[in-house]
Structure 1
Amino acid sequence: MSDVRFTHIGGPTVLIEFGGWRLLTDPTFDAPGRTYAFGWGTSSRKLTGPALPASTLGGVDAVLLTHDHHGDNLDHAGRALLAGATTTITTASGARRLGGATRALKAGQATRLEAPGRPTIEIAATPCRHGPPLSRPITGEVIGFALTWPGQAHGPLWITGDTVYHRALRRAAARIRPGTVLLHLGGVGFPLTGPLRYTMTARQAVRLCEAIAPRTILPIHYEGWQHFRQDRDGIERDLLHAPKQISDLFHWLPTGSAEHVRI
């Protein structure tokens, strides 16, 4: 059984440590107050800064970047951090934009992280749809990550990425059978597009988790930005109406301090 340390830095940014590895998801380290354009007339203001500054992180072996083209997943300070990471893994289009030794993955493809004295990690890209049907030309390419390594007792670690609930996501999750899920929530919406949502709501998350029955659900990316339509209070209100065997799986990571989870 693997003992994994998760440090939630804010938004989608989590430091994951185990077996000598230090992995970082979607680095966002800018101070609050800026407004970021997301294209097609949409934008959002950052309301909360990181719980830890990038300068305190130390070395990072790999950045798992679900997408590079939205400021709430890769901001200016996060982009600067990429140069110091050993490896960055992201979408095919993101790898072209970032250049260098960035590894490109499309949904269904996989790569490995290997180092002497450490467990080999297989990283498979999972499908995301960052909005309603047919929205990909507008919202761009996004992936999630399923991480598998020796010694996992309860199945892979899955980072969903920014996505709504959809059929390809459910099918991929059923194949992976993750034990632990870093679940991007928040029900992102914009005044320009009315009721349309661009990330999962709690109700969608319950449907997904009912289908795959993970052991632990760690919600992230639901706070700190103006475009979130469902914060922790809203998520917890919806969980009151969810089956208890699902709502009991949700565990809220503290920000800025490490939490140990057995995987």
Structure 2
Amino acid sequence: MRVTRIGGPTVLVELDDWRILIDPTFDPPGRRYTFGLGTSSTKTRGPAIEAADVGPIDVVLVSHDQHADNLDTAGRALLPAATYVVTTLAGSRRLAAANVHGLTAGQSVGLTAAGKAPLRVTATPGRHGPALTRAIVGDVIGFAVRREDQETVALWVTGDTVVYPELLDAARSLDVDVVVVNVGGVRFPVSGPLTYTMTGSEAVRLLTTLEPRVAIPAHYDGWSHFRDGEAGLRAALRTAPGRVQDAVRWVPDGQPVDTDAPAE
């Protein structure tokens, strides 16, 4: 597997012959986006690779479509060219295209393409904030991507979520090779101390439960709404179990990294 971090939540994964794009965001920096109920965020960093230079995409995984830090204007423009787009059930209704497949947690879809080994994508649970906020922030899912003939999850994408019992249950049930874990500890002034994505300490708790071979942090910088960020995760890792510290790979922006190669 080869992974290229493009910026924010946007990661290009090359798994066998499949090219998988996670949460495409390619707008330039400087714009402020509103998320509803008095919340907003400014994009502070642009993509390491421009949308025009990404190349052909087989699958786009959109953890949720309702927030521009996970699917922005330029990212939306890429969706029609992908063979498959997989997202939430509500998101599939909003995107309303023939190549879009909507899932709820636990549901899966098989993906086939000429000359490629089949894949199966299963939606995993996510909660984009504190308990009882789903009606406000909307649905979110993660993605467990398997080769159709294997039980091991080649790639797990957590999506934007906090740690909560259903997520930990999913982590216990999965045998994961590589996980892309969204961190950053999103907070907004209007909602005070409430967080809407994992902090560093929460990510360590999840990874301790999951025990993946490789863990790649994502979506921890490039936006003004991160309050924990890279520093929070690095601080939490200093006291994390050794196996968690060894699993984490900090992927530089725009540079493909082979997850089977030894960490530098």
Distance 1:82 1:151 in 2: 27
Partner amino acid, structure 2, of 1:160: T
Q: Is the 8 A contact 2:203 2:233 kept in 1?
A: no
From 32, 35, 51, the equivalent of 1:54 is 51
TM-score of the aligned structures, taking structure 2 as reference length: 0.95
For residues 96-147 of structure 1, the C-alpha deviation after alignment (integer angstroms, 9 at most, x for no partner) is 0000111110000000111232111110000000000001001101000000
Distance 1:109 1:153 in 2: 16
Q: Is the 8 A contact 1:90 1:105 kept in 2?
A: yes
Q: Which residue of 2 aligns with 1:143?
A: 141
Distance 1:246 1:20 in 2: 29
Q: Does 1:43 align with 2:51?
A: no
Question: Aligned with 1:234: secondary structure?
Answer: helix
Question: Aligned with 1:179: secondary structure?
Answer: strand
Q: Which residue of 1 aligns with 2:60?
A: 63
Q: Which residue of 1 aligns with 2:28?
A: 31
Count of aligned pairs: 260
Ranges in structure 1 where 5+ consecutive residues have no aligned partner:
none
Q: Does 1:230 align with 2:228?
A: yes
Distance 1:217 1:247 in 2: 9
Deviation at 1:153, TM superposition (A): 9.6
Distance 2:73 2:129 in 1: 24
Deviation at 1:33, TM superposition (A): 0.3
For residues 30-78 of structure 1, the C-alpha deviation after alignment (integer angstroms, 9 at most, x for no partner) is 0000000011110000000000000011111110000000010001110
Deviation at 1:209, TM superposition (A): 1.4
Q: Does 1:78 align with 2:75?
A: yes
Give the root-mean-square deviation of aligned CA atoms. Answer: 1.5
Q: Does 1:19 align with 2:21?
A: no
Q: Which residue of 2 aligns with 1:183?
A: 181
Distance verdict in 2 for CA 1:155–1:97, change over 3 Å: closer
TM-score of the aligned structures, taking structure 1 as reference length: 0.95
For residues 202-225 of structure 1, the C-alpha deviation after alignment (integer angstroms, 9 at most, x for no partner) is 111111111121111100000000
Q: Which residue of 2 aligns with 1:156?
A: 154
Deviation at 1:177, TM superposition (A): 2.2
Q: Is the 8 A contact 2:152 2:174 kept in 1?
A: no
Distance 1:253 1:228 in 2: 19
Q: Does 1:90 align with 2:87?
A: yes
Distance 1:169 1:151 in 2: 25
Percent identity between matched residues is 49
Greater CA drift, 111-120 or 134-143:
111-120
Distance 2:104 2:112 in 1: 20
From 104, 119, 122, the equivalent of 1:121 is 119
Q: Is the 8 A contact 2:130 2:195 kept in 1?
A: yes
From 1, 4, 13, the equivalent of 1:7 is 4
Distance 1:151 1:218 in 2: 25
Greater CA drift, 182-191 or 172-181:
172-181
Q: Which residue of 1 aligns with 2:213?
A: 215
